[in-house]
A and B are shown apart, each in its own frame.
Chain A
């Protein structure tokens, strides 16, 4: 496979995942704004932080208003991580690697793009927001479904999956980075109602409320949430899950390549040294420091994959 094609696949799926994650963050932000009367517009700051675009937003807006924040995250083309920008970038990469995709995947991607362009052509009113977000997530899910249902399990698939899980791990880590203080052990055994809302926000922003309740019941607190998001190997958005997936994809690629790449070594180290202990070890290390470390290692891993597989000259 061409290095350029591997690169295109990797980024196509990173952007698809990003579109979905940003849509989910908007949903979460909106949900809090609706359920907390005292919140005002302040809840949108951490949402923008989690989306990694608070600074850029600040360059264009003097104040943080809800409408402006939603518009920025949803459809602002100057925000490279907005849902619209991400879907456009995914589709642009899909065009670049058109020959590597099945007809079904390409059509699903192209129709996701066409629909996003249509429904995001104008500002989306509050009333339409839930259905617009729903449609967008359905559209990107269709691409994922077609990917699973029609693509050969070969190196094309491996690069697509690595893009997905690197972006997802990065997203989960950024949410933890912004909200880590909510999860720190507190002297009180039971959290305040404010804490409860914050915890719920975290779980919502990684679509994990249902799974968490199923696993831990209603009474569990921050320690379990942290463990769920970082170490749980069954939770499809946890760091441990994503990193394991990346390791597996790299292992699939290995036989075709003459020597094990450096990325394989790096992912093994990342998993072994940081994701095989229990949550107490993470708290001992310092939750914030741990999350920062994860973000660094993930970005380093991404760069190593690019180098190992000759994404660029």
Chain B
């Protein structure tokens, strides 16, 4: 039996949900259904859509929104925040170490091959220290919960995490539709995020930047699945949204083409993957990047957020070493738990995984977005057989984890409140001076009964996430 965040284990409403539940009991289901439709209309009008890869007909789709909030108490949140800060500090120290002295390898805590032969290791970053020493300016940690006090980190997402626009728009929508709920519950605000983001990015500008640093958001363009979010963030921060062809390298700087000529940029919040960032240094076929930007970066002429090469820290094989990484760099025990992980590159682990395939979740080491994964307990015999062959052919490409009994939060459905599995992605900003975790985040919910897959690309929905003041 899994843990439900509203009903607890014993069908008594848990405290954070009490006021919401009282309110819900007095509401007409018909009115709420109308509100649910109204919410969808609002999203459609605002244009909060995402593009699904590989589906031509549905070029822009809406992520379903559920009106029941996911509510977290102040106490729970404080503990999460401490755990997240600890982890993010460790990750930044790890990245610096990996690209400099590699003490962690010398200390024998991580095998050398795990780093040097890892596709996510970026040799062009060796010896490079980013401005302010920050590698992961923006992090979206994926957490799951299995009990009142049991939170696990599922993924660290330190490349270019997305979803923060949903955190903000979901709240905006709830405020518009149910103002009375916010009068009854003291919900911590998330609306400061764009301002915090801009300040945090500006604080990471190269030391040579004069006056107020020029920040810009780099997007792959309007056909990217997260384009809405790129435009949204640029708009909310009041900075330019640029594409590769708006930029060029001039006089040791990266500059954008304006109606009045080229203007240098200090901080580039890029939503373009490493591989496409610079056709001269990485993938030569990339049309999305800026030729030569890596050379400017290495010379300290621009801040790239997040830094190239951070992927080595959220690689799923490295993930399994996170407890060691946290201890090694912070000298503390990890506050947040890691999910037990079998690296299939190891023969003993592979044997175990093959024997227990029907009970495990198997993921690609470099995959994301719920693509190319196997969920043993719900897979058909054919799926299992197919995955077994894949594992045997390329074991190093996969890791396996136990199937966690994810917590549930009710959604509002035709049958009233019905529990569905959720995860949580809080958003973290890192600057040389501070780490900020916005109180809230993105709660993704699997809309199908019993399903554990919350990814929007696989039919998941979202909820507003509340952190209550005490």
Contact = CB atoms under 8 A, between A and B. Distances in A.
B260 A258 contact: yes
A2 B47 contact: no
Given A106-B47, A110-B47, A6 B259 contact: yes
A258 B261 CA distance: 10
Nearest to B238: A99
Contacts of A6: 259
A32 B245 CA distance: 48
Given A1-B259, A2-B257, A256-B260, A313 B245 contact: yes
A310 B227 contact: no
Contacts of B256: 2
Interface residues of A, number: 24
A4 B260 contact: no
Contact of B231 (A3, A98, A114): A98
A95 B231 contact: yes
Contacts of B45: 107, 110-111, 114
A4 B47 contact: no
A111 B235 CA distance: 20
Interface in B224-242: 227, 231-232, 234-235, 240-242
Interface string B255-282: 0111111000000000000000000000
A136 B234 CA distance: 31
Interface in A84-107: 92, 95-96, 98-99, 106-107
B5 interface: no
B241 A99 contact: yes
B222 A3 contact: no
B169 to A, nearest CB: 12
Interface string A1-13: 1111110000000
Interface string A103-123: 000110011001000000000
A6, A96, A98 — most chain B CB neighbours (10 Å): A98
Nearest to B237: A99
Contacts of A155: 259
A13 B257 CA distance: 22
Most chain B CB inside 10 Å of its own CB: which residue of A92, A99, A114, A258: A99
A107 B235 CA distance: 14
Most A Cβ at <10 Å: residue of B47, B222, B231, B261: B47
Contact of B258 (A3, A95, A96, A106): A3
Interface in A226-255: 253
Contact of B257 (A4, A96, A111): A4
Contacts of B259: 1-3, 6, 155, 253, 256-257, 309-310
Contacts, number: 60
A92 B227 CA distance: 12
A92 B231 CA distance: 13
A8 B314 CA distance: 37
Contacts of A99: 231, 234-235, 240-241
A4 B259 CA distance: 8
| Chain A contact residues, majority secondary structure | helix
Chain B contact patch, size range = 20 to 34
B246 A4 contact: yes
B109 interface: no
B108 to A, nearest CB: 50
A124 to B, nearest CB: 23
Contacts of A253: 259
B139 to A, nearest CB: 24
B46 interface: yes
Max count, chain A CB within 10 A of own CB: residue among B240, B246, B258, B261: B258
B260 A114 contact: no
A88 B246 CA distance: 24
B333 interface: no
B4 interface: no
Given A3-B258, A98-B231, A309-B259, A92 B243 contact: no
Nearest to B260: A257
Nearest to A107: B45
Interface in A56-105: 92, 95-96, 98-99
B44 interface: yes
Contacts of B227: 95
Interface string B94-108: 000000000000000
A250 to B, nearest CB: 12
Contact of B235 (A98, A114, A258): A98
B257 to A, nearest CB: 5
A2 B260 contact: no
Interface string A34-59: 00000000000000000000000000
Interface of A: 1-6, 92, 95-96, 98-99, 106-107, 110-111, 114, 155, 253, 256-258, 309-310, 313
19 contacts: A1-B259, A2-B240, A2-B242, A2-B246, A2-B258, A4-B243, A4-B245, A98-B232, A98-B235, A99-B231, A107-B45, A107-B46, A110-B47, A253-B259, A258-B261, A309-B259, A310-B257, A310-B258, A313-B257
